[in-house]
Structure 1
Amino acid sequence: MSETQESKSFLRKHWDGYKEFWGERFSFLDNYFRFIKPEEPLPRWDSSVVEEFIASDPIHGPTLKTAREAATFGVAGAAVGAVSTAGCAWKWSRSPHGAALSFAFGAVVGGTFGLEIANHWFQLYRLDTMASQVKFYEWLQNRAAEKS
């Protein structure tokens, strides 16, 4: 049973208006619902499945492989940033909570810096990595549908 406009509370009316307002402005996000909330969950996959896709798709496979290699730069940058900033914070303050916060902050900054280095190292700005990831997602769904 739906509520009529008169029976809605003051807050409910404003909340609905707020959701409608921002829903219109972010309507482009509807394009991504098939990735965020898929009808069926993706099947389990590992590196061998990714390598199979890379071998089977001559266009998007190498791009996906390059993007995966670039991710290792981000992980390495996050590790270096986290350990070095936490180490400096611990050395100078001997504060556990300060070291923990600097660990987290260093991981974010170092990971971002590592990904930026990878972007230039692998020239990712020339590649459409999102398209290759979408193709892998679709390939994985089709593969699961064929097996069932």
Structure 2
Amino acid sequence: MDWNSLVRSSAGLVASITKFERIFFISTIIPKILTPPLSHRSSAAVLQFITSDPVHGPALKAAEGAANFAYVGAAVGAITTGGNAWRWSKSPHGTVLSFAFGAVVGFTLGAEAANHWYQLYRLDTVGAHVKFNEWLQKRT
């Protein structure tokens, strides 16, 4: 069974991909993939942006602090759950799963705590990151 017959047989929810759509995909997506990446995001560049942009600089600084808060939460969550799993079960696969789950939960709780600590709900952090990437692209 080829791709087109599989797509046609999907109860009419998905139309078959035409030749035009394939060409459109190649002409729009492939150049975006092949564009050179931005220069490295160094702490000096972030500090320079924070001082140069009075609107988006503080939002970016708060978002950077919140990310550090979330990373610490992930480390604490992973170490405590992984350590407790190893202490009580001595099961390697259970310890790895507990370590991973603890990291995810710790990161999430750390990010939520940072959201309230830094009051990120009042700031446009996504807009600050976009402006920083635009500034970084213009700088290079």
CA RMSD of aligned residues (A): 2.3
Q: Which residue of 2 aligns with 1:40?
A: 36
SS at match of 1:43: coil
Q: Which residue of 2 aligns with 1:91?
A: 87
Q: Which one of the candidate residues 94, 115, 119 is aligned to 1:119?
A: 115
Flag the 1:87–1:127 CA change in 2: closer, same or farther, 3 A. Answer: same
Q: How many residues align?
A: 123
Identity %: 54
Provide TM-score, normalisation by structure 2: 0.79
Inter-partner Cα distance in structure 2 for 1:77 and 1:41: 30
Q: Which one of the candidate residues 64, 67, 73 is aligned to 2:69?
A: 73
Q: Which residue of 2 aligns with 1:12?
A: 4
Structure 1: which 4+ aligned runs deviate by more than 4 Å? Answer: 15-21
- 5+ residue gaps in structure 1? 1-8, 22-32
Q: Which one of the candidate residues 94, 101, 104 is aligned to 1:108?
A: 104
Q: Which residue of 1 aligns with 2:24?
A: none
- 5+ residue gaps in structure 2? 18-28
Give the CA deviation at 1:44: 1.9
Provide TM-score, normalisation by structure 1: 0.75
